[in-house]
Amino acid sequence: MRTKLTLQTFALARCTWLSAALTAALLWLPVHAQTAAPEATPASAPVAVKAPPQDAKCMECHDDIFEEKVIHVALEKGCTTCHTQLDAVKRPHKSTGPLPHGLKAKEPEICLSCHEKEKFKKKSTHKALEKGCTVCHDPHSTSQKKLLKSAIPELCFSCHEKKNFAGKFTHSAVKGAKCASCHLPHASDNAVLLKKTPTETCLDCHDEIKEAPHVMAGFSGKGHPLGDEVHTSPVENPLRPGRPFFCGSCHDPHKGDFPNLLRQDPKLGMDVCQKCHQK
């Protein structure tokens, strides 16, 4: 009897010890894993930019150019990378060349000395480029991504009239301030600075049109028979000679007064069709 009790006591003690050891191991593992593998720095974390030693005197007055969250990496190369014609001995400084602030070149040439010129040479170019890069971008630092002076769409509305993007019905992309989801800000090989062809741009979000019934496909068909992947040859818009016929011919891509952003009142029935097709 004594032997049996001793074995039971030993077994119970062993189970208690194993349970405690397992609990300790489970508690230890996460802490050990966190210590052994520290959290990686996110890829989107801003790059730390510091003024070079030779700019120490400049920073006595101009250290505010490093205050914002997003800092131009060119600042790491030094002030004289861009400001080459400047008499900084006297205050206020005087430009020794023909350009203000002692800049070495005009815009956009001064910017293109670092940024790839080919990215700004396409079939369609943003008119804002003619005004200079600093119309949209701060040359030193800003709180916005890409050194933008203000957030999108307010930055876009500084040139494009806001009223042209507001109607009874508004495209969800416009509501979501996603101008850059469809348009490139500098240059494009597509019309109106689109990232892709007009139809491809629309189908990126509205791919259900390929399979859903659509008035353009007729009463028994589906999809859109013009300007899609199958029908690649451009069809001219009868109401806008020289312009292609695509989704935007019937739907306004930004806003409208009719459902589905239609350009014509659907209540007109067949009269809408006869805007293009003669009776």
- Please report the pLDDT score of residue 259 as a whole number: 92
DSSP sequence for 75-91: GGG-GGGTB-SEE-SSS
Judged by DSSP in three states, 101 sits in helix
How many H-runs (helices) and E-runs (strands) does the chain carry? Answer: 9, 8
- pLDDT tens for residues 169-209? 999 999 998 999 999 999 999 989 999 988 889 988 988 88
Residues 203-253: tens digit of each pLDDT: 889 888 877 777 777 767 776 666 555 655 667 888 888 888 888 888 999
Q: Report which residue type is found at 58.
A: C
247 vs 48, more confident: 247
Interacting residues of 212 by C-beta distance below 8 A, sequence separation 6+: 222, 223
* Domain residue ranges in the chain: 53-149, 165-273
- 217 CB-contact burial (10 Å; exposed 0-12 / middle 13-18 / buried 19+): middle
Quote the pLDDT of residue 212. 78
Kindly report whether the peptide bond that precedes residue 100 is cis, defined as omega within 30 degrees of 0: no
Q: What is the mean pLDDT of residues 10-32?
A: 35
- Residues 206/219, Cβ–Cβ less than 8 Å: no
Tokens 């007064």, residue?
Answer: 257
Residues in the chain, overall count: 279
Nearest-Å Rg of the Cα atoms of the chain is 32
Six-digit token string for 119: 């990215």
Q: Which residues contact 244 (CB under 8 A, 6 or more apart)?
A: 191, 198, 227, 234, 235, 236, 237
Instruction: For residue 166, give Cα distances in angstroms to 160, 179, 231, 259.
Output: 12, 14, 33, 14
Overall pTM surpassing 0.95 (yes/no): no
